[in-house]
Amino acid sequence: MDDVVLHNLTKTYRKGAAAAVKDVSFSVRKGELFGLIGPDGAGKTSIFRMLTTLLLPDGGSATVNGFDVVSDYKRIRKEVGYMPGKFSLYQDLTVEENLRFFATVFGTTVEANYDLIRDIYVQIEPFKTRRAGKLSGGMKQKLALCCALIHRPTVLFLDEPTTGVDTVSRKEFWDMLKRLKAQGITILVSTPYMDEASLCERIALIQDGRILSIDTPDAIINEYPKPLYAIKASLMSRLLKDLKAMPETESCYSFGEYHHLTFHREEEDSITGLKKHLEEKNYEDIAIKPITPGIEDCFIRLMHAKT
Amino acid sequence: MKQFLAFVRKEFYHVFRDKKTLLLLFGLPVAQIVLFGFALTNEIKNSEIVVCDYANDVASHRITDQIEASGNFSIHKCLMSHRDIEAAFKAGNTKLAVIFPLNFNHDLLHLNKAQVQIIADASDPNTATTLTTFATSIIMDYQNELLQGHSLPFRIHTDLRMIYNPSLKGATNFVPGVIALVLLLVCVLMTSVSIVREKELGTMEILLVSPFSPILVVFAKAIPYFFLSLLNLTVILILSVTLLDLPIHGNILLLYAVSALFILTALSLGLLISNSTDSQQSAMLISLMGMLLPTLMFSGFMFPIENMPLPLRIISNIVPSKYYYTIVKSIMIKGLGFSAIWKETLVLAGMTAALLTISIKKFKIRLA
């Protein structure tokens, strides 16, 4: 039995006028680190809130630990850990007071489950008499995770836990998640950062309330149907316009310091032809290289395929 | 139960660590008492009275002495022309002029009637009315004194008495008003804001996704404010007894019991507001507009309800502070017992039950 199962889950706002989540189905296996990847406004938070029984779905159904999110909401609330995207703790309570308060609210003590949070808590322990409002972003994050873990949940819901956190803290955070997974906790995490997708076991790409693809990050990348090229030259913005104007181009978008491009039909001389074409247009320092697509390339491709 | 206590403790931390909240909680009642007690007073104490005694005879002296003996006025005896009297009014502090014409006593004894002119500065009508009533009653007293022994067949006797508040102290009116105002403000504002704050901070989401019953969240929030409000009441009572010389005539336990009921009414109102809003600002606005104004206008402590047009009188019936104000006045000033206030108490209890039911029914166990 999978820990989290969604079946055609639908959520609309403004009395059905705005659909936030459309027929979403996926399931998260026991002990899995599952990522829900998508840009802001894709419906990630709505899905999380329905799964944590905070919102009622308008259609479809979902279960967590086998309990229905609507009828058995009380059971789910006892068993899951939830860290909302906006979670900011009680700013005027100290680190230790926050932790003890949440432990008591969940009917347990810090001591009883200390082994679970020890790795994380030792990092913030030197500041345990400091008010939570005076902590740095990364510290707050760790404290919030401790608070969400303190009752030893079977399923952990983390809604955009790394948004607004610096790169080093983000990396540390993912390391912590890996260790938690090793303890057998099922983790469902959402993030708008595509580069974090490869850190999950399986991911669901989501856009405009619809699931684009569900698989392991590698499988999603392997499914990319065409060779992808990265192109760089002088005058990048004019280059993008010219590349898009070429009849051979299927898709082209800027990606960091390169433009990524696929052809409609891959010919043997596609690359040399392209290079010649660009030289004729007086571009300098032309660099064209085949690359392995990343999750973001897959996302962009899937997004265009749907529309 | 352990969860509940932990929650209550957390609420106390919130209150005691926020200096602004503390200031509002305990600064407000002190400021109100001092403000109403000394600055915004509408009592007649220290009003200057000018006596123009053209008669300068037994009767006029006697009346002047009696006005002076009341202790509420500072008297200036003088002889002035009417023009000078007007100038004295314009200069400011003079609120009333009493003018005895020539031959006052002579007229009184021989013609059986005499005239005294009383001129009042009616730019403040309340003070003017109070003062003229006061002066008239003293003159009537003297008249009665004279008439003793004489038995004239027809005499019209105006009997004016200021009961409960013979010296017309303003404090008797406003202390119950301030108590109602402060309790209402503290309870409604604090509870509604503190619950909405959890929503705004996102901690409400966590609390909802926990085994802790959502209704208990609300009750745990109400408890600290319940006790703080009782403490507040004590501060106000101590201030009014020591600083304003306003004794508590009735049963103090009864006063506390009824106040506890009123605090519950206010707390359930606060809960209702917090259920209906999502931001601290709107909670604060609704609390202030919805509580402060009606309490000031419709409880009867600023403006007498009897003088209002019918629609406003009807509206005043749904303002809880009106009933509480009546109750506090009855207990504190008139020294009445429960038999005199059971009706108002019943109304308050009914309101509390209704508000509490609605707010618990309306309480969201989910986000939307």
* Residue B101 to residues A307, B81, B83, Cα–Cα distance (Å): 102, 12, 16
The verdict on a CB contact (< 8 Å) between A101 and B3 is no
Residue A220 to residue B34: CA distance in whole angstroms = 73
Domain of residue A138, CATH code: 3.40.50.300
Query: Which pLDDT score, from 0 to 100, does residue B164 have?
Result: 54
| B364 Cβ under 8 Å from any chain A Cβ | no
Q: What is the pLDDT of residues B119-136, one digit of tens each?
A: 887 776 667 777 778 788
User: Into how many domains does chain B fold?
Assistant: 2
Q: Indicate yes or no: CB of A89 within 8 angstroms of CB of B17.
A: no
> Do residues B76 and B26 share a domain?
no
Spatial separation of the C-alpha atoms in residues B185 and B173, rounded to whole Å: 19
Question: Would you say residue B103 lies in a domain?
Answer: yes
Q: Is the same domain home to B84 and B186?
A: no
Question: Given A221, A248, A274, which residue is the final one in a domain?
Answer: A221
In this structure, the answer to whether residues A176 and A288 fall within a common structural domain is: no
Tell me if A67 sits within 8 A of A76, measured CB to CB: yes
By residue count, chain A amounts to 307
Instruction: Please return the burial class of B120, using the count of CB atoms within 10 Å of its CB with bins 0-12, 13-18 and 19+.
Output: buried
Query: A214 and A231 in one domain?
Result: no
Radius of gyration (Cα) for chain B, nearest Å?
A: 27
Say if residue A82 is in the same domain as residue A138: yes
Q: Do B3 and A105 touch (CB under 8 A)?
A: yes
The pLDDT value recorded for residue B168 is 53
Alpha helices per DSSP H over chain B: 2-17, 19-22, 28-34, 58-69, 82-91, 104-110, 125-147, 171-184, 190-201, 203-208, 214-242, 252-276, 280-287, 293-298, 310-316, 320-328, 338-362
Shared domain for B55 and B15, answered yes or no, is: no
Nearest to B18 among A73, A92, A148 (CB): A92
Q: What is the CATH number of the domain that holds A273?
A: 3.30.70
Nearest-CB residue to B211 (from A84, A93, A106): A106
**Interface contact flag, A77 B3, Cβ < 8 Å:** no
pLDDT of residue B257: 94
Q: Best interface-test mutation with A: which of B197, B203, B221 has the largest number of A CBs within 10 A?
A: B203
Residues B342 and B282 in one domain: yes
- Which residues, in sequence order, are CB contacts of B137 under 8 Å at separation 6+? B158, B160
Considering only CB atoms, A93 lies closest to which of B13, B210, B212, namely B13
Distance (Å) from the alpha carbon of A2 to chain B's nearest alpha carbon: 21
Contact A84 B202 (CB under 8 A): yes
Residues B97, B21, single domain; the answer is: no
Do A184 and A257 lie in one domain? The reply is no
Answer whether residue B331 is part of any domain. Answer: yes
The mean pLDDT value for A278-289 works out to 88
Domain end among A221, A245, A264: A221
Looking at the structure, do residues B177 and B322 belong to the same domain, yes or no?
yes
Q: Rounded CA gap, A203 and A208, in Å?
A: 16
Q: Which residue has the higher pLDDT, B152 or A102?
A: A102
Residue B200 has phi, psi (to 5 degrees) of: -65, -40
For residues A181 and A88, state if they share a domain.
Answer: yes
Do B31 and B8 belong together in one domain?
A: yes
B270 neighbors B190 (Cβ within 8 angstroms): yes
| Distance of alpha carbon B141 from alpha carbon B146, whole angstroms | 9
What is the rounded CA–CA span in Å between residue A273 and residue A268? 9
Same domain, B198 and B283: yes
CB contact under 8 A, B366 and A53: yes
Q: Which residues of B280-307 are buried (b: 16+ CB within 10 A; e: fewer)?
A: beebbebbeeebeebbebbbbbeeebee
B18 has a chain A CB within 8 A of its CB: yes
B348 and B266 in a single domain? The answer is yes
Distance from CA of A83 to the nearest CA of B (A): 7
B30 touches chain A (CB under 8 A): no
Could you tell me if B91 and B117 are in contact, meaning their C-beta atoms sit under 8 angstroms apart?
Answer: no
Question: Are B140 and B220 within one domain?
Answer: no
Taking the Cβ of residue B310 and every Cβ of chain A, the question of whether any pair is shorter than 8 Å is answered with no
pLDDT of residue B153: 42
Residues of B in contact with A92 (CB under 8 A): 13-14, 17-18
Q: Which of A52, A88, A101 sits opposite B201 (nearest CB)?
A: A88
B207 has a chain A CB within 8 A of its CB:
yes
Residues spanned by the domain of B36: 2-40+169-362
> In whole numbers, what is the pLDDT of chain A averaged over residues?
90
B217 chain-A contacts, CB cut-off 8 A: none
Note whether A78 and A210 are same-domain residues.
yes
Mark whether A207 and A229 lie in a shared domain.
Answer: no
Tell me if B14 and A90 make a contact (CB, 8 A cut-off): yes
Q: How many angstroms separate the CA of residue B6 from the nearest CA in chain A?
A: 6
Task: List chain B pLDDT tens, one digit each, 368 residues.
Answer: 788 889 899 988 988 888 887 888 888 888 887 777 666 555 566 677 888 888 888 888 888 888 887 766 777 777 677 777 777 777 767 778 888 888 887 877 777 777 788 888 777 666 777 777 878 888 877 777 777 766 554 444 444 454 555 555 555 667 788 888 888 888 888 888 888 888 888 888 888 888 888 778 888 888 888 998 899 899 888 988 888 777 888 899 999 999 999 999 998 888 888 888 888 888 888 888 877 788 888 887 777 777 788 888 888 888 888 899 889 888 888 888 888 889 999 999 999 999 989 988 888 787 76
Chain A residues whose CB is inside 8 A of the B3 CB are 104-105, 107
Task: Tell me if A206 sits within 8 A of A36, measured CB to CB.
Answer: yes
Binary contact (A104, B6; C-beta < 8 A): yes
Tokens of B205: 């989401």
Same domain, A110 and A176: yes
Claim to verify: residue A184 and residue A109 sit in the same structural domain: yes
With both helix axes pointing from N to C terminus, report the angle between B338-362 and B320-328 in degrees, rounded to the nearest 10. 150
> Count of domains in chain A?
2
Percent of chain A with pLDDT over 90: 56
The size of the A-B interface in CB pairs under 8 A is 82
Residue A200 — φ and ψ, nearest 5°?
-95, 160
Residues A96 and A212 in one domain: yes
Partners of B18 on chain A (C-beta within 8 Å) are 92
Per the structure, the complete domain to which residue A27 belongs is given by 4-221
Inter-chain CB proximity A82 and B205 less than 8 Å: yes
Closest CA to A146 of A94, A190, A102: A102
Helices (H), chain A: 44-51, 73-79, 95-105, 114-124, 137-149, 167-182, 217-222, 236-245, 270-280, 295-306
3-state secondary structure of A268: coil
Q: Are residues B124 and B191 in the same domain?
A: no
pLDDT in tens, A68-94: 999 999 999 989 999 988 767 898 899
Nearest chain A Cα distance for residue B363, angstroms:
13
Packed helices A114-124 and A167-182: angle between N→C axes, nearest 10 degrees: 160
Residue A52: pLDDT above 80? Answer: yes
**A185 and A235 both lie in a single domain:** no
Among residues A161, A192, A221, the one where a domain terminates is: A221
- Domain assignment present for residue B159? The answer is no
Does A288 lie in the same domain as A178?
Answer: no
Q: Do A87 and B7 touch (CB under 8 A)?
A: no
Q: Does B203 touch chain A (CB under 8 A)?
A: yes
Interface check B149 vs A, CB under 8 A: no
Give residue A200's pLDDT.
94
What confidence tens digit (pLDDT) does each residue in A166-218 have?
888 888 899 999 999 998 999 999 999 998 999 999 999 999 999 999 999 99
pLDDT for B155 equals: 45
Tell me the C-alpha distance between A133 and A146, whole Å: 16
Q: Give the gap in angstroms from C-alpha A177 to the nearest C-alpha of chain B.
A: 20
B213: closest chain A residue by CA = A74
Same domain, B204 and B333: yes
CATH number at residue B74: 3.40.1710.10
